[in-house]
């Protein structure tokens, strides 16, 4: 009985304050909620940030110390072409030798 009286009061209040019928009011309310839910789902990321990059960085071996070769010839530089994983990968540009192993 109290619930029925509450419903009647609510129907009168909806009509008085909004000028809409209760069915129209609740339809508009449901459409607004659905619209909000769809838009918030489109613009927010529900997936957590990838931790893979952090884990890979922690798993990497420490960098080997730099190699001091001094003056070397082209033939000696060919030994550092990356074919041997124990040797660094070296590149010569305009007379300067660079270690590009980590690049």
pLDDT above 90 coverage of the chain, percent: 36
20: number of Cβ within 10 Å: 13
Place 81 in a pLDDT band, splitting at 50, 70 and 90.
Answer: confident
- Total of domains in the chain: 2
Are both 6 and 39 inside the same structural domain?
yes
Check residue 22 and give its pLDDT: 93
Q: Give a yes or no: residue 6 inside a domain.
A: yes
Check residue 13 and give its pLDDT: 94
Q: Give a yes or no: residue 13 inside a domain.
A: yes
Q: Give a yes or no: residue 54 inside a domain.
A: no
End-to-end CA distance of the chain: 78
Q: Give a yes or no: residue 58 inside a domain.
A: no
Residues 25, 14 contacting (CB under 8 angstroms)? yes
**Residues contacting residue 79 through CB under 8 Å, at least 6 positions apart:** 87
Structural domain containing residue 87: 66-99
- pLDDT by residue (tens digit) across 21-33? 999 999 999 999 9
- pLDDT by residue (tens digit) across 5-61? 999 999 999 999 999 999 999 999 999 999 999 998 888 766 666 666 656 666 666
Report the range of poorest mean pLDDT among 6-15, 58-67, 72-81, 89-98. Answer: 58-67
Q: Give a yes or no: residue 48 inside a domain.
A: no
Q: Give a yes or no: residue 74 inside a domain.
A: yes
């Amino acid at each position: 009985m109290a619930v029925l009286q509450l419903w009647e009061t609510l129907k009168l209040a909806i009509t008085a304050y909004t000028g809409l019928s209760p069915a129209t009011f609740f339809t508009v309310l449901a459409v607004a909620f659905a619209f909000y839910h769809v838009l918030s789902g489109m613009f927010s990321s529900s997936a957590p940030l990838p931790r893979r990059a952090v884990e890979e960085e922690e798993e990497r071996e420490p960098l080997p110390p730099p190699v001091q070769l001094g003056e070397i010839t082209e033939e000696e530089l060919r030994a550092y072409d990356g074919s041997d994983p124990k040797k660094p990968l070296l590149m010569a540009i305009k007379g300067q030798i660079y270690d590009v192993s980590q690049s």
